[in-house]
Structure 1
Amino acid sequence: MGDRLTLPDWNALAALADDTVPLLETSLLIARDEYPDLDPDLYDTLAQSYAEHLRHEIDAIEAWPLKMAAINRHLFEELGYTGNHDEYYDPRNSYMNQVFERRLGNPVSLAMVQMEVARRLGVPLDGVSFPGHFLVRLPVDDGLLVMDPFNGGRPLGVDELRERAKPHLGGDIPDDNALLHILNPASHRAILVRTLRNLHGVYAEREEWDRAARSADRVLKLSPDQPEALRDRGLAYLQMDYQSGARHDLARYLHLAPEANDATAVREQLVEISASRTSRMH
């Protein structure tokens, strides 16, 4: 038996540097909110077993792209990991215990499985917070190999990347410098925040306000004073009739992002909260 996988403490994460936030452990910490009985060791052991299965083959391959092709073949073809195209907004796609058990996920969670296995094999795979769908990247001799974990780890050429970025850049096609900037590696913190923002979006859409508030609250454990998370938690608190919490978060949001597009609407909501508080006191 190796060392047991210990999950971090939520209150310790804010003080860590972006890339020293442990990726698998914190993703399982997120899942434990919804699945309190999950055994983190199970998923650590599973990722390790995938790596051990591949180790001999990977060590015998010289070129990074061919190493990566072997990892992708094992994960996506032999083990059957796949993007959940039918139920993209199922929250289970964001909870890593469920992703490992169902072998179904969204772009971020599948990227985390890919990264976890690749890195255990010495392959320096990084995530990319690409607009739209999360991607992964591997440095190769002549540049970058960019892949789509949601679609079997398929490599993406530069023209397709430009096309994918275009709708998110007001219809402009990014030049080489802009594209390289978009393809910068995502820090562990950024990947985990994206996971939680996805969960918040799903739960807000379903009007499950306690879970929406929790997802935003967890973002704030990773990145205190992140304006959008304060707004999201405040609006969820409002739906839960937790007025003082909503007032605190929305006021803080306006302090941090006074020029935000929705600042006027949020100000109006604060006025309403204050008005209802006054009427309750009378």
Structure 2
Amino acid sequence: MHDRFALPEWGQLAATDDATLPLLATALLIARDEYPQLDAAQYDATVQAHADHLREQVDQVEPWPQKMAAINRHLFDELGYAGDSEHYYDPRNSYINEVFERRRGNPISLALVQIEVARRLGVPLDGVSFPGHFLVRLPVDDGVLVMDPFNRGRPLDEDELRQRARPHLNGEAPDDRALFQILNPASHRAILMRVLRNLHGVYSERDDWERASRSADRILRLSPDNGDALRDRGLAYLKLGYKQGARADLARYLQLNPDAQDSGPLRERLVELSSCASRPS
């Protein structure tokens, strides 16, 4: 079974709906950019081995939280998956193959491991694009159980969730309605795009503009009219001296976002690029 595990093609992803966009396979596709010899089937088999080890134990209990507790215990206590607090911004924490190899990751990559293992055991775990750190959620009788994959799957209560959200909401704690919206399940596309945004941020901080442009480009393969990614790729192209690509991306960004806060400086930059292009060499 595992030797037939295949990765999608980048050109197929924009037309693939969220319901059928493969989470693990596309995360491995992202990793293959950096690790071209990556054996995707090996990591699919790793996930399956984790699930197979847990299956009998998980099947013996009924409530979802007890099943999830067994999964978390195996992943974090027995196998040693953990949040990489010491080197949080190491790009390896965003590449899922490295997470499987090193048993270290950031919140979203560890959530991806949790989600893949849980779902293979019939446990309906979803991701949550929470501001700041990515979280996971599990349906329970009276609502949802929200957990922090970066801290060994620790459950979070409403008060802690409100406090965690506050710095990202101008210091205001979300009310019940806003918190409920924040805790909506993240689509596979949203999860993968957040992985790529993290990589873009890491590489931009390192002035690695080739990889930064690649990360933005991959977001655009998932969502072709994503304004932030068009801007980010265009600015990275500028750093790389690829003026034609920068001009096209920034023009498209401004077309889609004419009233963006950064529209003024970018329009000036676009005029400069256009004038450079029109000058005789």
TM over 0.5: yes
Map of 1:262 onto structure 2: 262
CA contact (8 A) 1:212 1:233 kept: yes
- 1:29 equivalent to 2:29? Answer yes
Alignment of 1:1-282 (within 5 A): 2-279=2-279, 281-282=280-281
Q: Which amino acid aligns with 1:67?
A: K
Q: Deviations over 1:13-70 (max 9, x none)?
A: 1011113110000000000000000000110000000000000000001111111011
CA distance in 1, matches of 2:2, 2:236: 42
* Percentage identity across paired residues of the two chains: 69
CA contact (8 A) 2:2 2:44 kept: no
CA distance in 1, matches of 2:269, 2:132: 30
CA contact (8 A) 1:247 1:273 kept: yes
Q: Deviations over 1:60-108 (max 9, x none)?
A: 0111111101100000110000011011111000001000000000111
TM-score with structure 1 length normalisation? 0.98
The answer for unaligned runs of 5 or more in structure 2 is none
CA contact (8 A) 2:125 2:138 kept: yes
Q: Which amino acid aligns with 1:102?
A: R
Specify the SS of the correspondent of 1:155: strand
CA contact (8 A) 1:48 1:120 kept: yes
What is the CA-CA distance between 1:3 and the residue it aligns to?
4.9
CA distance in 2, matches of 1:237, 1:2: 38
CA contact (8 A) 1:19 1:189 kept: no
CA distance in 2, matches of 1:134, 1:74: 21
TM-score with structure 2 length normalisation? 0.98
CA contact (8 A) 2:2 2:41 kept: no
Structure 1 segments of 4+ aligned residues over 6 angstroms from their partners: none
CA contact (8 A) 2:28 2:40 kept: yes
What is the CA-CA distance between 1:275 and the residue it aligns to?
3.0
Q: Deviations over 1:125-160 (max 9, x none)?
A: 000000000000000011100000011100000000
Q: Which amino acid aligns with 2:151?
A: N
Q: Deviations over 1:210-259 (max 9, x none)?
A: 11111000000000110000000000000010000000000000000111
The answer for unaligned runs of 5 or more in structure 1 is none
CA contact (8 A) 1:130 1:182 kept: yes
Q: Which amino acid aligns with 2:155?
A: P
Specify the SS of the correspondent of 1:268: helix
Q: Which amino acid aligns with 1:30?
A: I
Aligned length: 281
CA distance in 2, matches of 1:42, 1:3: 8
CA distance in 2, matches of 1:188, 1:95: 16
CA contact (8 A) 1:165 1:174 kept: yes
